[in-house]
Every structure is written in C-alpha cells, then in structure tokens.
Amino acid sequence: MRKLTAGLFMSLDGVVESPNLWQFDSFDEELGLEMTAMMNRVDTVLLGRVGYEQWAGYWPSAENDDPFGAFINPVPKFVASRTLTGDLAWQNSTLITGDLNEFVTELKNTEGGEICLVGGISLVRQLLFVGLLDSLTLMTHPVVAGEGRHLFEPTDPVTRLTLQSSLMTSKGNALLTYGLRTD
C-alpha cells in the first residue's frame, strides 16, 4: 500500500496559511535537503481547490531551473473540489469525482511511490481524522505570524499522535513528523 503524507510550513503561533508572508530567511540548507528527499519519494500529489488555483497560477510559468517547479509541473496531480468542474488546465491535473475518502483509499492501493498532500489545509485535517494520512510533517519556523489560518480548529476531536521523526535545523526550524497513534 502506498503511503499518504503531508507537510505544512507553520509559524510558532500555529499559522499554516501563506507561509510566503512569514518564512523570511528561515528556509535553510537542511530544510532544502528534506524537501528534496520528499520530492524524490513522491510521484503523485493531492491538492485542494484553493491550493490548486494558487499554484496553477504560478508554477506552470515559473523558471525552469526551480527544483520545485521541475517536480510539481510534470507530477500527476489530483484535485479535490466541490466547485471546480471539467478539465483542469495545469498539466497532469485531474479533478477528483465522487467521494474523496474512497478515491484516496483506492489511490493508496495502486502501484507507485509516495502520495503527498500539498496545498490543502482542510484536506490534511479531513484525511488525518479519517485515518488515511500516514504522516504529517509540521515544519515550524521561528516566527510569530500573528494572523492566518491554523491547521486545527477548536471543534476538532481529541486525536492522539505519535512522533515518527524530528529534526532541528541550523536556523531554528523544527521539523516534526507525526502519525496517528494506533494503541
């Protein structure tokens, strides 16, 4: 079975929305190496509508020498949306039809590498709470963002996690990877 992972940049106060507004110079060599390792493991991407619309407006025309652009443009992308319809313009993008949880379960049972959920805060929450997300990496930067969406909401259920890995970088980023606790 394929593994479904997600990674989100996060501020110390828990903001995961628009990290480009508060990352500043904290993206260091170690974080870059971890991102490269992720790109080497992943051969399929899941996106939410908002993430898809933001990224489809930027990455297709990004510089060819950008490593993330070289990864994200050709990779197969599946987009979860209740409002988008028809064919999607960004290369190798497919709109998910039907039930998201059933689609992800079927996708995890196909041959291939790791599946990574990017650009979808609500998708991360949904797939974590139904038990389909195998690991969640929170890349916490040493900054207080002050405003923006948080990953978790006050109405979310108590959910126990287990630490799968941790890494501290030279610029103070804490990379913590969690999975659902099974006992």
**Residue in the block written with tokens 């804490």:** 174
Per-residue pLDDT tens for 75-84? 999 999 999 9
13: left (phi over 0), alpha (psi -120 to 50) or beta: alpha
Per-residue pLDDT tens for 21-43? 999 888 889 998 998 999 899 99
Taking the C-alpha atoms of residue 173 and residue 11, their distance in angstroms, rounded to an integer, is 10
Per-residue pLDDT tens for 73-113? 999 999 999 999 999 999 999 999 999 999 999 999 999 99
pTM of the complete model: 0.93
pLDDT at 26: 86
Task: Give the strand order in the sheet containing 77-80.
Answer: 93-95, 77-80, 42-48, 114-117, 4-10, 135-140, 174-180, 161-168
Residue 64 has pLDDT above 80, yes or no: no
Taking the C-alpha atoms of residue 14 and residue 59, their distance in angstroms, rounded to an integer, is 26
CATH topology of domain 4-180: Dihydrofolate Reductase, subunit A (3.40.430)
